[in-house]
């Protein structure tokens, strides 16, 4: 019976065709609630007991995860939860957002801030690393916390809630730096902000004459696609040229609801690009990556980047060997069209920029040790 209900939940999450959704602990969920992003956001799973009610986590596992959640909070939308096979501990979606004891085990290479963002934070919440563009961390909140996130250090910081008081100094800084032509609005997830607040921020940025392009980074299409509403698309359309970058990491995330959300953005004249992260046990096979890239192409989402997982503290269990990643890309390149191929890149430690990892840069004929030596000598 439990297996049957899990199957029903996954089917509904992927196809969104039923009138009612059954998902503990809410019982039957009316479709008008299920498709309301505010309901999804209010009803996120944020505690281990709540997660235990919905999965096969043993009491021992719950106990071992308590210090993990104490360090790195838990948040999963009911929608994203419905896409998982709860009975499968290796489910690729579950692996991305369920806490794991490895997150707080000692790591030689992991750091809290692998991109050196704090060092380049000219005002609180604004990172100005490159001359012509800057990054706004509009909020620390996310609909679903990804356990591989390179900003998981910020999850417990309540000082950045997307309030005007914290956003105004960022806009003021941008207005005073005419070299900035492009602004990336990220977080957290900026689409956790209500439309009026997001609209105020975008209008404020558009009022700066030298800001030509705005980019938004959000996982909402993958983890809470009902956030993409007609009202939101109308708001975003008013602030074009505006580019939307999202993150799908597995084909199971490319649902009918996700396709509809991306289609609404595209219909509003908002280009949508995908930035995946290469994750062990999620998408580290040619088959898994090919399925994802084909699915993205089918819904007109451009595969933009495939990131090597950043050396964030507590993410060793997600890391894929560079040699393996390069081998995957070479195999995929022989079987996929150019439109399907993302750029495989690694963020250099300390915020030194992205390094493309291409076959011509990293020949497959090199021994694995020589490839690692190349990376170590070219920071």
Q: Which residues are catalytic?
A: 129-130, 133, 142, 146, 149, 151, 310, 347, 354
DSSP 144: S
Angle at the Cα of 60 from the Cα atoms of 59 and 64, rounded to 5 degrees? 115
Tokens at 2, concatenated: 């439990």
Alpha-carbon gap, residue 291 to 192, rounded angstroms: 29
Helix residue ranges per DSSP H, 238-367? 256-267, 286-298, 322-335
Angstrom CA distances, 68 to 30, 318, 320, stand at 33, 16, 22
Tokens at 321, concatenated: 């060997």
Q: Is 71 helix (H, G, I), strand (E, B) or coil?
A: helix
Count CB neighbours of 119 within 10 A.
11
Angstrom CA distances, 223 to 14, 70, 125, 254, stand at 11, 23, 24, 10
Alpha-carbon gap, residue 156 to 152, rounded angstroms: 8
Asked if 169 and 176 count as a contact pair (C-beta separation under 8 A), the reply is no
Tokens at 278, concatenated: 């290469």
Asked if 78 and 43 count as a contact pair (C-beta separation under 8 A), the reply is yes
List strand residue ranges (DSSP E) for the chain, in order.
Answer: 20-22, 28-30, 121-123, 126-130, 133-137, 182-186, 213-217, 242-246, 272-278, 302-308, 343-347, 354-356
């Amino acid at each position: 019976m439990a297996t049957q209900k899990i199957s029903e939940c996954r089917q509904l999450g992927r196809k969104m065709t039923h009138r009612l959704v059954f998902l503990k602990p809410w019982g039957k969920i009316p479709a008008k609630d299920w498709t309301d992003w505010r309901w999804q956001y209010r009803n996120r799973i944020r505690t281990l007991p709540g997660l235990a009610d919905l999965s096969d986590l043993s009491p021992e596992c719950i106990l071992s995860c308590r210090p993990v959640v104490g360090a790195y909070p838990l948040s999963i939308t009911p929608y994203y939860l419905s896409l998982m096979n709860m009975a499968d501990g290796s489910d690729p979606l579950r692996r991305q957002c369920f806490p794991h004891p490895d997150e707080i085990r000692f790591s030689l290479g992991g750091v809290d801030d692998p991109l050196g963002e704090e060092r380049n934070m000219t005002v609180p919440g604004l990172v100005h690393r490159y001359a012509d563009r800057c990054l706004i961390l509009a909020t620390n909140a996310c609909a679903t916390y990804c356990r591989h996130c390179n900003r998981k250090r910020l999850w417990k910081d309540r000082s950045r809630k997307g309030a005007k008081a914290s956003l105004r100094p960022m806009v003021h800084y941008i207005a005073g730096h005419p070299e900035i032509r492009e602004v990336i609005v990220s977080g957290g997830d900026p689409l956790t902000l209500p439309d009026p607040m997001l609209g105020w921020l975008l209008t404020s940025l558009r009022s700066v004459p030298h800001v030509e392009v705005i980019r938004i980074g959000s996982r909402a299409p993958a983890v809470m696609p009902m956030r993409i509403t007609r009202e939101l698309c109308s708001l975003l359309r008013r602030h074009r040229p505006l580019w939307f970058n999202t993150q799908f990491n597995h084909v199971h995330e490319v649902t009918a609801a996700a396709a509809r959300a991306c289609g609404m953005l595209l219909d509003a004249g908002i280009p949508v690009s995908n930035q995946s992260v290469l994750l062990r046990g999620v998408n580290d096979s040619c088959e898994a990556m090919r399925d994802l890239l084909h699915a993205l192409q089918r819904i007109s989402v451009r595969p933009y980047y495939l990131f090597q997982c950043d050396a964030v503290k507590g993410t060793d269990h997600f890391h894929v060997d560079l040699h393996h990643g390069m081998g995957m890309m070479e195999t995929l390149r022989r079987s996929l069209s150019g439109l399907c191929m993302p750029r495989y890149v690694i963020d250099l430690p300390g915020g030194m920029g992205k390094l493309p990892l291409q076959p011509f840069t990293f020949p497959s004929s090199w021994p694995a040790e020589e490839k690692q030596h190349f990376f170590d000598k070219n920071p």
